[in-house]
A and B are shown apart, each in its own frame.
Chain A
């Protein structure tokens, strides 16, 4: 049917583009997932977690080790990745979170950069890239596929997209309807006043770190599979795409973050068959986030004052 219609998008046959859309939506789902985790943490603690990618990559490497070098059941190895994300984030939040609480957002972010660098160092030491063989972590769901509108889709891709939507919806409902969610939103508005009102601030922040960490571990697991290679450096720096999604959502809106993550993944993938611009696809997160920020702040009044001497 496609060949009969012969629909061409800027010189590339529509039939050829469909698999890239599937790839893009799946990767975009994982970016959105990470982006939502980043936004929830930022809203609650004021910390923009740069270590998000590194924690996920380290968790995925642990899973790889357990699957390939021990007799650990696969499900337990994969659960270990998620648990590692939760544990490391929680530990950081509980131990260092209070120390950074009163500092500038930039200082808080630098703290997580330190965590990222420590994890990168550990991974470079224990699982160096460029070894004799490349590491590959495959989720069992990847081996189950079906055809959709002429494109092959595997279940990991479906899970990635569905989980991103589910997490966004679930988090939105959670923040609006539960006591803990209300406390988190209150913290986002004013930490000091919230504490004065008797909200256990540290416990609420710890919950945010834990939830964000669990999301981080899940995203790490999904990206290790979707990205096809367990290269710790590449996975660590995928946080850039997630940060772009979070920035598009202006670190506030979960639904816009979801849309931003999907847009980054989709644009990156769909540009692949266009020979003249395929080499610039890595700029997608930057271009999209800048464009979105410019668009979203188009009505903002900029005041410039000059003091006379």
Chain B
């Protein structure tokens, strides 16, 4: 009788306890915290990976991101913030959490200058990370240089890749457009037409025209005002300018590119030309929305595929997005933000002694051969270089059944600019990316 009662109690306990335990496990993330454990060739962790919250005095890092109608660059800073949160949940920087302050700007130089000064002089940040804007590099590079800051960000304009104040995780629209142009020339394009936002077109499109010249085919740039208010006419003009068998390169973010692709479909233009693009539209949102372009895109992808099988860093990024930034879908901007956060954390962990603006930025400048599966070659900063273009080798991708798939393996971006040839010479001389 007693054993029967005991059995009922045990079974009841199991019936109640198992679901409760499952619920508790589910609530706690079903296992080890994201980004915790020991880093290895097959596993990436956030910072120290201790799985314990950092509780010390915060280390302040700042960032400035552009947000205008038609372009939202805040995603990069938001994902860098997500990475820092993961670091904070895994021991922080030797017990100290990172406090990330992200300001938005509206393509306004006065605002950009004020925000940089606010971050450095009022907020007292030790470093600046995740900056992305059409014009902020040009506005603030001298100021950052005067303060000894080296900003880790994602660049767009010439000064982001032509001054000592910035080192970017991406290669920017100019080099990405060159990569797309190379792919189109290899595919037999009879002309190269490139359209970028008018604010950056002079810089972003110039390389494509050089590629066209080298290939002996016509090339033309179409600076396009944002937001695009007449996608139908815009895309028609590009296709007509390219002519049959020509190549059209779209250099727009996922905010502005969809109307153009839709207009191309609606007007039956998809098969009239070869389609190229810079990196930002290499994501599943776009691939899923425009199956008509399956197998027809030559998208220059500055980073690895957004697939967990790519490697441990990509896996960690997908986990971080899921936990810390669930509203942000996997995309190139997320890769930039992840790497910016990761590179900054690597520098912070290298600091010996007090973490100050000077010690952190010195640590940033000493970074070299930082390996990640998101890039074709290791990333670096390099001491005392007058400019940095560490990401200069990448891949071509395409759309297929709602996915982004590999079309061409890693290739060097053509050194049509002397700066890129010089960069490769430095890489060799100083062994920056081995």
Interface residues on chain A, size class: 20 to 34
Contacts of A228 in B (CB 8 A): 231-232, 258-260, 262-263, 266
* Bound-state Cα–Cα, A133 to B281, Å: 10
Closest Cβ of chain B: how far from A278's Cβ, in Å? 8
In the complex, the answer to whether A132 meets B266 with C-beta atoms within 8 Å is no
Decide: A145 near B268, CB < 8 A? Known: A131-B255, A134-B257.
yes
Contact of A152 among B69, B259, B267 (CB under 8 A): B267
Closest Cβ of chain A: how far from B222's Cβ, in Å? 10
* Bound-state Cα–Cα, A227 to B254, Å: 17
In the complex, the answer to whether A19 meets B267 with C-beta atoms within 8 Å is yes
Contact of B236 among A20, A143, A281 (CB under 8 A): A20
Contact of B67 among A130, A225, A282 (CB under 8 A): A130
Residues of A10-62 at the interface with B, using a CB-CB cut-off of 8 Å, are 16, 19-20, 23
In the complex, the answer to whether B237 meets A129 with C-beta atoms within 8 Å is no
Decide: A134 near B256, CB < 8 A? Known: A231-B227, A269-B233.
yes
Contacts of A172 in B (CB 8 A): none
In the complex, A154 has a CB within 8 A of chain B: yes
Contacts of B256 in A (CB 8 A): 134
* Bound-state Cα–Cα, A156 to B268, Å: 13
In the complex, B328 has a CB within 8 A of chain A: yes
Contacts of A156 in B (CB 8 A): 266
In the complex, the answer to whether B232 meets A134 with C-beta atoms within 8 Å is no
In the complex, the answer to whether B254 meets A133 with C-beta atoms within 8 Å is yes
The 0/1 profile, CB within 8 Å of B marked 1, for residues 230-242 of chain A is 0101100000000
Contacts of A143 in B (CB 8 A): 265
In the complex, A74 has a CB within 8 A of chain B: no
Contact of B268 among A129, A133, A152, A229 (CB under 8 A): A152
Contacts of A225 in B (CB 8 A): 266
In the complex, the answer to whether B227 meets A129 with C-beta atoms within 8 Å is yes
Decide: A142 near B266, CB < 8 A? Known: A130-B71, A130-B255, A229-B259.
yes
In the complex, A188 has a CB within 8 A of chain B: no
* Bound-state Cα–Cα, A136 to B265, Å: 12
Number of interface residues of B (CB under 8 A): 37
In the complex, B75 has a CB within 8 A of chain A: yes
In the complex, the answer to whether B255 meets A132 with C-beta atoms within 8 Å is yes
* Bound-state Cα–Cα, A130 to B329, Å: 16
In the complex, the answer to whether A229 meets B265 with C-beta atoms within 8 Å is no
In the complex, the answer to whether B236 meets A19 with C-beta atoms within 8 Å is yes
In the complex, A272 has a CB within 8 A of chain B: yes
Contact of B258 among A16, A133, A142 (CB under 8 A): A133
Contact of A142 among B228, B240, B265 (CB under 8 A): B265
Contacts of A194 in B (CB 8 A): none
* Bound-state Cα–Cα, A131 to B68, Å: 10
* Bound-state Cα–Cα, A142 to B256, Å: 20
Contacts of B289 in A (CB 8 A): 136
Nearest CB to that of A225 among chain B residues? B266
Contacts of B72 in A (CB 8 A): 130-132
Nearest CB to that of B292 among chain A residues? A143
In the complex, the answer to whether B259 meets A136 with C-beta atoms within 8 Å is yes
In the complex, the answer to whether A154 meets B266 with C-beta atoms within 8 Å is yes
* Bound-state Cα–Cα, A135 to B267, Å: 19
Nearest CB to that of B235 among chain A residues? A228
In the complex, B121 has a CB within 8 A of chain A: no
In the complex, B229 has a CB within 8 A of chain A: yes
Decide: A23 near B257, CB < 8 A? Known: A129-B69, A130-B69.
no
The 0/1 profile, CB within 8 Å of A marked 1, for residues 44-75 of chain B is 00000000000000000000000111111001
In the complex, A253 has a CB within 8 A of chain B: no
Contacts of A226 in B (CB 8 A): 232
* Bound-state Cα–Cα, A226 to B232, Å: 8
Closest Cβ of chain B: how far from A22's Cβ, in Å? 8
Contacts of B387 in A (CB 8 A): none
Contacts of B265 in A (CB 8 A): 142-143
In the complex, B285 has a CB within 8 A of chain A: yes
In the complex, A200 has a CB within 8 A of chain B: no
* Bound-state Cα–Cα, A152 to B268, Å: 6
Contacts of B262 in A (CB 8 A): 136, 138, 228-229
Contact of A130 among B68, B236, B257, B268 (CB under 8 A): B68
* Bound-state Cα–Cα, A132 to B83, Å: 19
Closest Cβ of chain A: how far from B273's Cβ, in Å? 14
* Bound-state Cα–Cα, A168 to B38, Å: 73
* Bound-state Cα–Cα, A130 to B104, Å: 13
Closest Cβ of chain A: how far from B48's Cβ, in Å? 31
* Bound-state Cα–Cα, A119 to B302, Å: 40
Nearest CB to that of A272 among chain B residues? B233
Nearest CB to that of B334 among chain A residues? A132
In the complex, the answer to whether B328 meets A132 with C-beta atoms within 8 Å is yes
In the complex, A121 has a CB within 8 A of chain B: no
Contact of B231 among A135, A229, A269, A282 (CB under 8 A): A229
Nearest CB to that of B233 among chain A residues? A272
* Bound-state Cα–Cα, A233 to B227, Å: 11
The 0/1 profile, CB within 8 Å of B marked 1, for residues 270-301 of chain A is 00110000100110000000000000000000
Residues of A133-189 at the interface with B, using a CB-CB cut-off of 8 Å, are 133-136, 138, 142-143, 145, 152, 154, 156
* Bound-state Cα–Cα, A142 to B265, Å: 8
Contacts of A133 in B (CB 8 A): 254-255, 258, 285
Decide: A23 near B232, CB < 8 A? Known: A132-B329, A136-B289.
yes
* Bound-state Cα–Cα, A225 to B75, Å: 27
Contacts of B333 in A (CB 8 A): 132
* Bound-state Cα–Cα, A133 to B229, Å: 16
Closest Cβ of chain B: how far from A53's Cβ, in Å? 14
Decide: A134 near B240, CB < 8 A? Known: A23-B232, A142-B265, A143-B265.
no
Contacts of A272 in B (CB 8 A): 230, 233, 236-237
* Bound-state Cα–Cα, A19 to B75, Å: 37
Contacts of B254 in A (CB 8 A): 132-134
* Bound-state Cα–Cα, A225 to B230, Å: 12
Closest Cβ of chain A: how far from B241's Cβ, in Å? 10
The 0/1 profile, CB within 8 Å of A marked 1, for residues 238-265 of chain B is 0010000000000000111111101101
Can you name 5 extra interface pairs (CB under 8 A) apart from A132-B333, A272-B230?
A132-B72, A132-B254, A142-B266, A233-B69, A234-B227
Q: Which residues of A come within 8 Å of B, CB atoms?
A: 16, 19-20, 23, 129-136, 138, 142-143, 145, 152, 154, 156, 225-229, 231, 233-234, 269, 272-273, 278, 281-282
The list of the 8 closest CB pairs from A to B, nearest first, reads: A152-B268, A272-B233, A229-B259, A228-B259, A228-B231, A134-B258, A228-B262, A133-B254
Q: Which residues of B come within 8 Å of A, CB atoms?
A: 67-72, 75, 227-233, 236-237, 240, 254-260, 262-263, 265-269, 285, 289, 328-329, 331, 333
